[in-house]
Structure 1
Amino acid sequence: LVFRAFAGKPVSRVDAFLRDFYDSDVASLFRERATAELLSQKEQGRVVVLVSATFEPIVSRAMEFHPIDFQISTRMRAAKDGTYTCEVEGLPVEGDQKIVRLREFADERFGAGRWVLDAAYGDHHSDRTLLGAARNPVAVTPDRPLARTAKSEGWRIAEW
């Protein structure tokens, strides 16, 4: 439904709108504890990859203000005329697709078998697969279904 609102509109105009949306509505929601955790991961020599169902222009804007090395997010398909269609490029980066896409990215970037998912953070029950693949899964201010899973699996729960 959201993609339909942008269908036929120039990519540059939609991307600017989404960057402005980040600035006006999302930036103030980014938790200071999240930034501190990302900085800690980077100080330990880890690569920080943001894997999100959110649209790429919003995630790209967040990267300008937070210690994120790479991003994997949902991308809208652009038409040859430079406008967005109402389709996703590939599959949305949600649920099980998060770990699928992360593995593809990391295997290509670092080499198959040459990387580990040391820590993963998620707040929604759709993040279970990604969290379950991590050495150190953290359910951050989780929704109820994820909180139940985190408790039963012994995952760390952080209230940010």
Structure 2
Amino acid sequence: MTQALVDGTVIRGHGVASGHASDSPYPAGTIAMQQPYFAALGLDLTGLYLATINLDIQPAQWRLLQADYTFRALRWTDLHPPEDFSFIHCQLLWQAQRYAGYIYYPHPATKIQHFQSPRMLELVLPWIATISYGARARLIYRAEQIQIEPAALL
């Protein structure tokens, strides 16, 4: 497998994954609600913070090639139809430390709310107390799993 790198900026998300959005119908956060379903299907998120870090890689865009885990038609709430999710192993390099986790990818075709730009990656990682919005960080991933290209090439 070929290790690849992309730099990005940490940006504010919708606040739904973490449960911080004031208008969210999921006060515990979507990932905390989804986590038991993922665990039952073989993905253990123990040790990871059940929210996302949003990494903006613009002007580049990304596209899924091969996930480590894909869960189809997962009904984790009665508030909308089932969704498809994929997870891709990754590491975030921040202040000379590596944090291992996953790219969290709710498939857009089944996700009816909270559109995410293909220029942004949602990451589920351990808690990183020192990271903040506007921080520049580097994502380490396997080139066989996601494609990152300038927007004009995708």
Same fold judged by TM-score > 0.5? no
Larger Rg: 1
Query: As a proportion of its length, which structure holds more strand?
Result: 2
TM value normalised by structure 2: 0.27
Q: Which has the higher contact order (CA 8 A, sep 6+)?
A: 2
